[in-house]
Amino acid sequence: MKNAFAFTAQPLIDQVRGQTPEIMTRILDEDVNLAIWQRQLPVHIVDFGALLLSLDEPLADAIVIDMPNEKAQPNLTGLAARFNDLEGYAGFIADVSWLVSAYACLLGAKRIGLRLRALDKAMCPRFHVDHVPVRLITTYAGIGSQWLQEGVMERRQLGQVQAEPARAELIQQINAGEVALLKGEKWQGNEGAGLIHRSPALAPGERRLILTLDWLA
């Protein structure tokens, strides 16, 4: 006789952090939808980001990078080119190149969409999930993205401001310099379990420099 009360346990959804880049491989785990590398940026890159934002100039670069094999070097020609005379630019580009290569290697990505933006307002102010497989986000200057642990907000109420948590301690924040891999709804087997997150609110005159990578092919 079958147990009338039998049920199938749902896997727990977890978020992980670590101080070495190896933590990023945990995003491949079935039960993980966020992996954060808690790194500290070198001073020259911190200074570059701060100086770039202080110029108060627009920046919204988007490029598609082909990575045909593991030995391919990302072609970042033209990225933030208007700022190439700022001290620390070469180190910044080297860091972005490393992240692109690591992201491609981790996921086996052959084509990557890169966006680098200086923002003065929240691009996505409401809590939401991304309809992508895995997105890399890192904030080079300014405040980082915010996210929620599973269960803090009902998924069916995403996008509804009145349903968002009012208590600040329930909202997690990614620090500047940290590298976050966010699993979205289009990762096979992750439907209904994409990380819930949003862009942080910015005060008047406040800006942030943010890099995102998306797996296109």
pLDDT, tens digit (0-9, with 9 covering 90-100), for 142-196: 999 999 998 888 888 787 787 788 888 898 999 999 999 999 999 998 888 889 8
Residue range 52-100, pLDDT digits in tens? 999 999 999 999 999 999 889 999 999 999 999 999 999 999 999 999 9
| Per-residue confidence (pLDDT) for residue 179, from 0 to 100 | 98
| Per-residue confidence (pLDDT) for residue 11, from 0 to 100 | 52
What's the average model confidence in pLDDT over 113-129?
88
| Per-residue confidence (pLDDT) for residue 168, from 0 to 100 | 84
Domain 31-215, CATH 2.60.120 — does that match? Answer: yes
Instruction: Indicate the pTM of the whole model.
Output: 0.90
Residue type, 85: D
